Amino acid sequence: MNRPALLTLDDALAQLLAHATPLTHDTQRVQTVSTFEADGRVLAQAVVSELQVPPHDNSAMDGYAVRVADCQQADAVLRVTQRIPAGSHGTALNAGEAARIFTGAPIPEGADAVVMQEDCEALDNGERVSVRKAPTLGQSIRRAGEDVALGAEVLAQGTRLNPASLGLAASIGLAQLRVVDQPRVALFSTGDELVMPSDVAPKDMPAGAIYNSNRFFLRAMLQRMGCAVTDLGIVPDQREATVAALRDAALSHDLIVTSGGVSVGEEDHIKPAVQALGELNLWQLAIKPGKPFAYGKIHQANRACHFMGLPGNPVSSFVTFLLLVRPFLLALQGVTQTDIPRTAMTAHFDWPRADKRREFLRVRRNAQSGLDLFPNQSSGVLTSAVWGDGVVDHPAGQTIQHGDTVRFISFAEWLA
């Protein structure tokens, strides 16, 4: 019997994103949170400024506010009539006068430049100042509204907030922000061979047993994606137990993520269990690592819960999460830009074996601005993801020669 053709990554991702109805379609899935607590959350509505930033023309540095017309020649001497620290306001500046001014202080009326203090010399105990360099109009003045204009949209709906955007929101007076509710994600692993590090010491490991590493990095990545995670632990390799775990999790979660059990072996029960409870839309992908990936929906109590089954091999699970689960979760939260840019870099290695699948090779940047390849690209070698700082997105059916330009994806950007 001929097996169906493997699905390309691009087609799989397009189908996944088509299923990702943003949580904001349900008004109850929008929250108001403190700006202090909003890092990593996604804006449910645009942020529009009710003021301009800066609110007034102000000094970009410590120095003297002057009139350019009074300083046409170097070493002009002016009378210092006032001192303006940040947080105060000065009076109008008249011809022949200067104001001692500090960073952030408002520019007094009549002044049209600031001369840094290093280009000035205080005279007569600060009562006069010699301006050593003739200034230009507007020099060292930060104009009102040059950062944020009144009524400007400073953060778009669907923005995933980071420290800089939180600071920007605070700069226009927002103590709270409207954000998308955290996706509720249930996580479990399958496999009778799995044990937890806390349960069995390395010296006592039974034959055939392995530690459940996938549970640790998947949970961490889900939390980095802003999810509320329910860790359901390890489910036995039994059809009934798998069905029960999926059925119960579907009642109160938006997405179920599993690891293992999505291949075609007799002990791989995820596929028939999902089909028994709902539908399975995707099955095997033309990528390496990560071929056995599954997506579907589980129908319980008049609602549908998304399902994603990741491979059991740790690198396959790690890579498919980044390629498929990550953009899906972003889209679920209303983020429109879900892709990660590829950077053109030089391969400092050879890859002579062309594969019929699109490959994601673990690499590391080197001191020569090129990429080194981890020597063992097996899907079970998790050290490759720790040693490396990204992957090469390598098209199917092609080889790589030392010096070729390749497409690099940084883990730091992917996991941000």
- Per-residue pLDDT of 38-84, as tens digits, reads 999 999 999 999 999 999 999 999 999 999 999 998 899 999 999 99
Span(s) in the chain for CATH 3.90.105.10: 27-52+150-180
Q: What topology is assigned to 58-142 in CATH? A: Molybdopterin biosynthesis moeA protein; domain 3 (2.170.190)
Which has the minimum average pLDDT: 79-83, 188-192, 198-202? 188-192
**Phi, psi (rounded to 5 degrees) for 256:** -115, 130
Question: What is the reported pLDDT for 198?
Answer: 85
Alpha-carbon span 35 to 126, nearest angstrom? 44
Q: Tell me which DSSP letter residue 388 carries.
A: -
How many Cβ atoms are within 10 Å of 369's Cβ, its own excluded?
9
Q: Which fold has domain 27-52+150-180?
A: Molybdopterin biosynthesis moea protein, domain 2 (3.90.105)
Residues 6+ apart with CB under 8 A from 253: 184, 185, 186, 230, 305
> Two tokens at 59?
């000094």
Residue 225 clears pLDDT 60, i.e. is over it: yes
What is the structure's pLDDT at 266?
Answer: 46
CB 113 within 8 A of CB 136: yes
Comma-separated ranges of CATH 2.170.190.11 domains in the chain = 58-142
Nearest one of 45, 10, 359 to 176, comparing CA atoms: 45
**Quick one: average pLDDT of 160-180?**
96
Give the CATH number of domain 343-414.
2.40.340.10
End-to-end CA distance of the chain: 44
pLDDT band at 400, cuts 50/70/90? very high
